[in-house]
């Protein structure tokens, strides 16, 4: 059995591509999901990757879910914090519920999911923690103060935890995708994509989920052992830092 990898939000979109790529690279993968039972069942049937339903916005639910995974598969070696939601709206109209939902799922989840596995990684002297942030956590985005704040917070989490964990053989890195051809992005009206988004991407197209997944596979590998506290920006030249 290969190393054990957990992907949160791992049955749809970028997360599904990550789960499939890690399995293809030889990892034993567990894919978490929150609520779409039909999509999770379809993903499991197509990939034979086991799926685990729990809410990453809850510490207790996450700890229980990860305990089930470790009981079924073994200790977690690679953790991909990918789960995320949007609740867009301009700030002066944003509700507390919109704010809290995004912060809880996109930022607080990093504590909820990582904390239950970090001690095991430290004891074993190995771990790979990869956080999927966003271009909008780097540059901000109108109508997404909640999302941008959470995704920027992800990057601070990565930098701090990387410093704490390096001596224990654990690397902690982020990937900041740009606009990727997922169900969510493709739901944007075509005229908006064609006029307001794609013209600003230097390579002239949306990214593909598999392009993000390849970055995850690299950061999870032994080849990336000297990379920690870093952000791999995969956005086609949309935003350069």
Catalytic pick among 147, 179, 200, 239: 147
- The answer to whether residues 17 and 210 touch, using CB atoms and an 8 Å cutoff, is yes
CA neighbours closer than 13 Å in the CB half-sphere of residue 77? 18
Separation of alpha carbons 193 and 205, rounded Å = 10
Does 147 qualify as catalytic in the annotation? yes
In angstroms and rounded to an integer, the radius of gyration of the C-alpha atoms of the chain is 17
CA distance 220 to 206: 24
Contact 81, 113 (CB under 8 A): yes
Residue whose token pair is 């006029």: 195
Q: Which residues are catalytic?
A: 147
């Amino acid at each position: 059995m290969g190393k054990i990898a957990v992907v949160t939000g791992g049955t749809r979109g970028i997360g599904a591509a990550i789960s499939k790529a890690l399995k293809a690279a030889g990892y034993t993968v567990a894919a978490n999901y929150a609520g779409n039972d039909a999509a999770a069942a379809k993903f499991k049937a197509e990939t034979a990757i086991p799926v685990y339903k729990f809410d990453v916005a809850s510490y207790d639910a996450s700890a229980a879910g990860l305990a089930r995974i470790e009981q079924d598969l073994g200790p977690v070696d690679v953790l991909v914090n990918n789960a995320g939601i949007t609740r867009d709206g301009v700030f002066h109209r944003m509700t507390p519920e919109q704010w809290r939902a995004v912060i809880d799922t996109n930022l607080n989840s990093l504590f909820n999911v990582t904390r239950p596995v970090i001690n095991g990684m430290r004891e074993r002297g190995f771990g790979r923690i990869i956080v999927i942030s966003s271009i909008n956590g780097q540059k901000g985005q109108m109508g997404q103060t909640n999302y941008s704040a959470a995704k920027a917070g992800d990057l601070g989490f990565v930098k701090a935890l990387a410093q704490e964990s390096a001596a224990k053989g654990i690397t902690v890195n982020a990937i900041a995708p740009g606009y990727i051809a997922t169900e969510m992005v493709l739901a944007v009206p075509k005229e908006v994509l064609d006029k307001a988004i794609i013209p600003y991407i230097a390579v002239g197209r949306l990214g593909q989920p598999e392009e993000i997944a390849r970055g995850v596979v690299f950061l999870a590998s032994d080849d990336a052992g000297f990379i920690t506290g870093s952000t791999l920006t995969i956005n086609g030249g949309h935003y350069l830092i």
